[in-house]
Amino acid sequence: MSAARYNLIIDQGSDFVLAFIVNEDGSAKDLTGYDARAHLRKTKSSSGEPEAQFTCTVPLPAAGEVRMVLPNTTSTAMSAGQYFYDLEIFEPAGTQVVTRILEGTVTLKQEVTR
C-alpha cells in the first residue's frame, strides 16, 4: 500500500482533528494491535526533534479508524508557515511492521486573536 497524499491547512491557535478509515483492498483494514504516529517538520530531511507531533490514536481498530489531533496549545507555539508531515501505523509488539499511510504538507495559517 502506497501512502496517500493529503495536504492540510491548520489555523494557528485552533484545535485540529482529522479522523479517517484506512481501507485495504476495498474494505476497512483491521488495525487491532496497531498504533499510529505523525510528525511535523520544516523540511522532509530535517533531523533531530520534529517541530511538533500530532497525537495519534486508533479509537476503533476493527473499523480501521485513525485519528490525528494537533491541539491549539501546540499550534499556538509554532511559527506560521509551511511544514511537512507523514502518518505511520505500526504494530508495537511482534513484527514491528511500519506502514506510511498518509503524507503531505501542512500550511499553518497565522493567528490574529491571541
Per-position DSSP letters for 20-32, written without gaps between them:
EE-EETTEE---T
Listed in sequence order, the residues at least 6 apart from 81 whose beta carbon sits closer than 8 Å to its beta carbon are 42, 107, 108
Total number of domains constituting the chain:
1
Per the domain annotation, does 51 fall within a domain? Answer: yes
Q: What is the pLDDT of residues 71-99, one digit of tens each?
A: 999 999 999 999 999 999 998 776 778 99
Is the residue at 39 inside a domain? yes
Q: Using CB atoms within 10 A of its CB, is residue 67 exposed (0-12), middle (13-18) or buried (19+)?
A: middle
- Check which CATH number belongs to the domain holding 85 and give it: 2.60.40.10
At residue 96, the pLDDT reads 79
Q: Which residue range(s) make up the domain with 34? A: 4-109
Mean pLDDT per 10-residue run, the chain (114 residues)?
92 97 93 95 93 97 97 96 96 81 97 87
Q: Is residue 114 part of a domain?
A: no
Residue 94 belongs to a domain: yes
Nearest-angstrom CA–CA distance, 9 and 65? 21
11 occurs within a structural domain: yes
- Average pLDDT of the chain? 94
Q: Residue 56 falls within a domain, yes or no?
A: yes
